[in-house]
Each structure stands twice: as structure tokens, then as C-alpha cells.
């Protein structure tokens, strides 16, 4: 079982800045992740949360579950949430960080990730493929 965690504002995908994030909705992305998980023979728990505290609590909850790794798009929290970074370190699970857009090619404040140093790896800029490649990599670990 793997946890897929989407951060704030990703519930608006499809209508939110399509020139940056594309036209797929979060449901479209989740459906493709479920399809890939089925091919890989693994199960997913997928959640989208808008607040930092809820994300921290969801990460802690993995301690009570049979979770083997976390695929996370921390969204804006990527750039400044030490609380989410610390929670990820605290649960001692493999982490893959993904982004739809290429955060390194955007505003300066997006070019830093406080999560990346505690993740196994980061995939950024490939749209839905960031998620699909990220899930594949997480399962391979």
C-alpha cells in the first residue's frame, strides 16, 4: 500500500492556471495513477488536503498503516513547510516528490524545495508523467 498525497489547491486542477498545470483534473490524474497501480500490482490511498496541519496529521497516520512509501506533491508547501518536511522524516518512509510544472524554471521562490533533501528523488515539469514516473520509481525502491 502506498500513500499519494496532493497538497493545497490541487483540487482545482483542470480550471486552475491551465497554461501552467494543464487541463487534467485531479480525478483524471488519480484515475491514471490507479490504472498504473493495478498494472504494478500495488494498492494506493489517495488524498488531497488543503492545510499544512492536515497534511502533517495524514503523514503521521501512516505509522498506523501498512504504507510502504509516499508519493507527494506538497504544492506551495514544497517551498517553505519545515513542518511537512519534519513529518516526512519522522515516519521514516521512502518519499518521492513530484510537481506538474518545472519548479526550477519558474519564479525564484518556487525554485527551492525544503522537501527534496529528505526525498529519495524529485520529478518536476512533466505534467501527469511526473506522477506516473514517480509512482513507478517509488514501487521500484
Of the candidates 5, 70, 96, 103, which one interacts with ligand DQA according to CB under 6 A? 103
Q: Catalytic annotation on 99?
A: yes
**Stretch of residues binding ligand DQA (CB under 6 A), selected from 36-44, 54-62, 69-77, 132-140:** 69-77
Asked if 99 interacts with ligand DQA (CB under 6 A), we say yes
Q: Can you tell me the distance from the alpha carbon of 123 to that of 126, in angstroms, rounded to the nearest whole number?
A: 8
Q: Which of 93, 115, 89, 94 is nearest to 103 (CA)?
A: 115
Residue 9 lies near ligand DQA (rule: CB under 6 A): yes
H-assigned helices in 67-120? 82-90
- Is residue 6 within the footprint of ligand DQA (CB under 6 A)? no
- Binning the chain into helix, strand and coil, the percentages to the nearest 5 are 50, 15, 35
Taking each helix axis from N to C end, the angle separating 128-140 and 26-40, rounded to the nearest 10 degrees, works out to 30
Distances (CA, A) of 75 to 1, 9, 48, 97, 132: 23, 8, 11, 10, 17
Site for ligand DQA in 110-129 (CB under 6 A): 110
Count the site residues for ligand DQA by CB under 6 A.
10
Stretch that binds ligand DQA, among 31-39, 43-51, 54-62, 93-101 (CB under 6 A): 93-101
With contacts defined by CB under 6 A, name the span among 27-35, 58-66, 86-94, 98-106 that binds ligand DQA. Answer: 98-106
Ranges assigned E (strand) in 70-141? 70-73, 95-99, 121-124
Residues numbered 20 to 59 that lie near ligand DQA (CB under 6 A) are: none
Sites of contact with ligand DQA (CB under 6 A): 9, 73, 75-76, 78, 99-101, 103, 110
Amino acid at each position: 500500500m502506498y500513500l499519494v498525497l496532493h497538497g493545497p489547491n490541487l483540487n482545482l486542477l483542470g480550471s486552475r492556471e491551465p497554461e501552467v498545470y494543464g487541463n487534467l483534473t485531479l480525478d483524471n490524474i488519480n484515475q491514471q495513477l490507479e490504472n498504473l497501480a493495478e498494472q504494478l500490482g500495488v494498492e494506493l490511498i489517495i488524498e488531497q488536503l488543503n492545510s499544512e496541519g492536515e497534511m502533517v496529521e495524514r503523514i503521521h497516520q501512516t505509522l498506523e498503516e501498512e504504507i510502504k512509501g509516499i508519493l507527494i506533491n506538497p504544492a506551495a508547501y514544497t517551498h517553505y513547510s519545515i513542518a511537512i518536511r519534519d513529518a516526512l522524516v519522522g515516519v521514516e518512509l521512502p518519499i518521492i516528490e513530484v510537481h506538474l510544472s518545472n519548479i526550477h524554471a519558474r519564479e525564484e521562490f518556487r525554485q527551492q524545495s525544503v522537501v527534496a533533501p529528505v526525498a529519495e528523488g524529485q520529478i518536476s515539469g512533466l505534467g501527469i508523467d511526473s506522477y506516473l514516473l514517480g509512482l513507478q520509481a517509488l514501487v521500484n525502491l
